[in-house]
Amino acid sequence: SLFRNATFEISVAQSAALPPAQGAEIAFAGRSNAGKSSAINTLAGHTRLAYVSKTPGRTQLINFFRLNCGAALVDLPGYGYAQVPEKVRRQWAGLLEDYLRRRESLIGLVLIMDARHPLTTLDHAMIGWFAPTGKPIHVLLTKSDKLSRNEANKSLFAVRKALAELGGRVTVQLFSSLKKTGVEECEAVVAGWLGL
């Protein structure tokens, strides 16, 4: 199990403070409150590895976790907080854009979306920054437990269709941190990126 026993390594607040680009990095991004921290904790089998909080306005950090295989899981700042000043939001967006576009050690992006509200304008911005790198994106449609099976599948197919139309290397799956469903599917995709 790829993400089990991940350990916290370092937090950085700006691009200039990023550790040297060594080894493979897998980034996790998502709109604030989409369920990113919960998904990371579920994948890692750890209740509080990534801090689950709905409090906006904290310093936004890029958190690095080391996986057993030697690769890094990189938890990117949640985006889209409504209550944060425009200037701060722009700084966060700049940090994300820099990292997604330029980080050489980054090999793939796991993008977390709420299955009930996928593909927001900001999700499209993230895809727009990252897809041109030619690296793969895997979308986790989380909180799928809040939908009926039929609604969840509708969301899955709609997001797949919308992203297929954009081209690029994009895969999409359902996930639930509450029910712990979708863990193996996500592990298999990321293991494939790592050549494991």
Q: Which residues lie near ligand GDP (CB under 6 A)? A: 30, 32-38, 52-54, 78, 142-143, 145-146, 176-178
| Closer residue to ligand GDP, CB minimum distance, 89 or 194 | 89
| Closer residue to ligand GDP, CB minimum distance, 13 or 21 | 13
Q: In whole angstroms, how close is the CB of 60 to ligand GDP at the nearest point?
A: 11
| Closer residue to ligand GDP, CB minimum distance, 133 or 155 | 155
Q: In whole angstroms, how close is the CB of 39 to ligand GDP at the nearest point?
A: 7
Q: In whole angstroms, how close is the CB of 142 to ligand GDP at the nearest point?
A: 5
Q: In whole angstroms, how close is the CB of 180 to ligand GDP at the nearest point?
A: 9
Cα–Cα separations (whole angstroms), residue 173 to 16, 102, 119, 126, 143: 34, 26, 14, 18, 12
| Closer residue to ligand GDP, CB minimum distance, 39 or 170 | 39
| Closer residue to ligand GDP, CB minimum distance, 16 or 150 | 150
Q: In whole angstroms, how close is the CB of 116 to ligand GDP at the nearest point?
A: 10
Task: Tell me, rounded to whole angstroms, the distance of Cα 63 from its chain centroid.
Answer: 12
